[in-house]
Structure 1
Amino acid sequence: MGRLYLCATPLGNLADITLRALQVLKQVDLVVAEDTRHTRKLLDHYGITVKTTSYHQHNEREKASSLLAELDKGREIALVSDAGTPGVSDPGYILVQQALEAGHEVTVLPGPSAVIAALVISGFKPYPFYFFGFLSRKKGERQQQLKDQEDNPWTGVYYEAPHRLQETLQDFCDIWGAERRVAVARELTKHFEEVFRGSFASALEHFSAIPPKGEITLVVEGKTGTTEVPLSADGELVREAVNALIRAGADLHQACRAVGKALDLSKSQVYRLYHR
């Protein structure tokens, strides 16, 4: 049987590679890379001449069969991403699943991870936390994803592309509230590393004035405060107010938020009263 190594690589600073990762990259038969040109810079820096092949989101399903064939021959393969730990938010898990099902050995080489690096530098409570990855590029789907997560009390970690950051921060403001706190980690471990900490509103203002570049990780504060419904709350009044706004054209989310603001209740409290 063959062996598949899941090899973490630096986020940006090449000195962050581990000694074990260098040892494995030198000894394997093949390095499977998200972008071979990007990975070749790392390998050349350390004088590693191993053969490479591409494995990315556009070819991962068809490429997996040929990689499994190499493992069947008893070969050793190292899977790497452009940066960080492979299989977290880039191709990898399909190959891992199929390799395990075929009886091959799968080994992880721990190392850099943008998720953990951003989480611990954010200043927010690091546990419990959830990792979402990239929100949808489509506005409607992205907003629904945020609505689904709005009341989560855990610290959340998201990835975002620089050209979509302002639009995403605006959605956070509109759906989660402008005062919820966020840490925007940009270019971690690189020369122009930046971590902006503040409210969604202040982050939007900052990055609207200075358009961001580079890799971005958002660490967002979980929902705080009570979600219990006050005993004095009038459920019938709340339902009538929400239904009136819906008839006027608002969706349920907008109606609950507006009624909550008028009655000094949270959106989640209004939602619970509405569905009683």
Structure 2
Amino acid sequence: MSGKLYIVGTPIGNLDDMSIRGLKVLQSVDLIAAEDTRHSIKLLNHFEISKKMVAYHQHNEQQSCEGLIELLKQGQNIALISDAGMPLISDPGSVLVKSCVANAIALEVVPGPNAGLCGLVLSGLDTRSFLFLGFLGKDNKAVKAGIKRIEESVDTVVLYESPHRLPKTLEILVKQGLGHRQMSISRELTKRYEETRYGTIAEHRDYYQENPPRGEYVLCIEGRTADEGKVAASLELESLSLEDHLAHYLKSGLPEKEAMKAVAKDRNISRRDVYNAVKR
């Protein structure tokens, strides 16, 4: 009979946040798969848990997964933990969980702290719906794709950023025309020097130009407002020719007179200018 994989959340800073259930699982399993055994041994030592650990991280995820699946098939119970927070959330683990599902191996989650959610509830922004992006990435293509999703999202956006990349990310957001959006930036969550700052993206950019970032950061960004959406749509229409711009409104069902009026308003020109351009 196969064993079970336990996905165990661990503290993101304050060790008192380790759950009683999580401790019981770590004490009872046959093996702990840890993102960094050198880091996780501190957690185990603090709670006086003596248990065999193996490394399971992004650089050996596929190879380690195969070995762990074999142990699970043999009936061993394994706990998966990351350095901090919930495994799989911007951390390794998805390959192993997918493989467990494919091999009909039992899974059980033991909830724990999550930096993104902690930052979100501290943000003062809309929490009813949000977009979690994690880290934007290092290459320009990934960063551009992430910035575009932030720009277009009507929901609060939650992302992580490292201290050495934070100023650059804020500068990119401002240059993209998002400097007016509200943002909260949290650091050292649950730790002694926990801090959350509030303001616009531009204000945060200015602050961190003068104050070097320290620690890991959670950024929560206001979603696109209705007015901002209207401006974006208007700018997109303005990139069309006058004929195509007019055709857009005609296809939507507006009479020609009203369609010309709408085009003139979008482009801040007179209706006669629209008429002369499309009727010549």
- How high is the TM-score relative to the length of structure 2? 0.81
CA distance 1:176–1:9, change in 2 (3 Å): farther
- 1:171 offset after TM fit, Å? 0.8
Amino acid at match of 2:10: T
| Residue pair 1:133, 1:157 contacting (<8 A) in 2 also | yes
AA of the residue aligned to 1:120: V
Question: Aligned partners of 2:236 and 2:48: how far apart in 1?
Answer: 70
Question: In structure 1, what residue type is equivalent to 2:147?
Answer: L
Relative to 1, partners in 2 of residues 1:102 and 1:142: Cα closer, same or farther, differing over 3 Å?
same
1:216 counterpart = 2:254: no
The superposition leaves residues 208-249 of structure 1 with CA deviations (integer Å, 9 ceiling, x where unpaired) of 21111111111110001233479xx799865359xxxxxxxx
**Cα displacement string for residues 96-123 of structure 1 (whole angstroms, at most 9, x for unaligned residues):** 0101111111000011011111110111
Distance 1:229 1:168, change over 3 A: closer
Residue 175 of structure 2 is matched in structure 1 by 174
Q: List per-residue Cα deviations over 1:168-224 (Å, max 9, x = no partner).
A: 011111114211111111110111111111111111111121111111111110001
Structure 2 SS opposite 1:195: strand
Q: Which residue number in structure 2 is paired with residue 151 of structure 1?
A: 152
- Name the CA distance, whole Å, in 1 between partners of 2:180 and 2:21: 44
CA distance in 1, matches of 2:39, 2:191: 16
Residue 228 to residue 75, structure 1, CA distance change in 2 (3 Å): same
Q: CA deviation at 1:136?
A: 2.2
Taking structure 1 as the reference length, the TM-score comes to: 0.82
Assess, with a 3 A threshold, how the Cα gap between structure 1 residues 53 and 212 changes in structure 2: closer, same or farther.
Answer: same
Shift of the 179–66 alpha-carbon distance from structure 1 to 2, 3 Å rule, reads: same
Computing the radius of gyration from Cα coordinates, the structure with the larger value is 2
Q: Does the 8 Å contact 1:143/1:171 carry over to 2?
A: no
Q: What SS does the aligned partner of 2:164 have?
A: helix
For 2:191, the equivalent position in structure 1 comes to: 190
C-alpha separation in 2, matches of 1:189 and 1:182 = 20
Q: Aligned residue for 2:83?
A: 82
Q: Would the aligned equivalents of 1:30 and 1:78 in 2 still touch at CA under 8 Å?
A: yes
Contact 1:4 1:78 in 2 (8 A): yes
1:102 aligns with 2:103: yes
**Pair 1:162–1:263, CA change in 2 (3 A):** farther
Counterparts of 2:138 and 2:182, CA distance in 1: 22
* 1:22-37 map, 5 Å: 22-37=23-38
Unaligned runs of 5+ in 2: 243-265, 269-280
Give yes or no for contact 1:143–1:175 (8 Å, CA) kept in 2.
no
Q: Name the CA distance, whole Å, in 1 between partners of 2:73 and 2:207.
A: 53
Alpha-carbon contact 1:16-1:112 (below 8 Å) kept: yes
- Does the Cα contact within 8 Å between 2:170 and 2:201 map onto a contact in 1? yes
**Residue 139 of structure 1: how far off its partner (Å):** 3.3
Greater shift, 209-218 or 220-229, is seen at: 220-229
Q: Does structure 1 retain, via aligned residues, the 8 Å contact 2:3–2:75?
A: yes
Q: 8 Å contact 1:158–1:218 — kept in the other structure? A: yes
What's 1:136 paired with? 137
- Where does residue 48 of structure 2 map in the other structure? 47
- Give, in whole Å, the separation in 1 of the partners of 2:217 and 2:181: 18
| Residue in structure 2 matched with residue 63 of structure 1 by the alignment | 64
Residue 70 of structure 2 aligns with an amino acid whose one-letter code is A
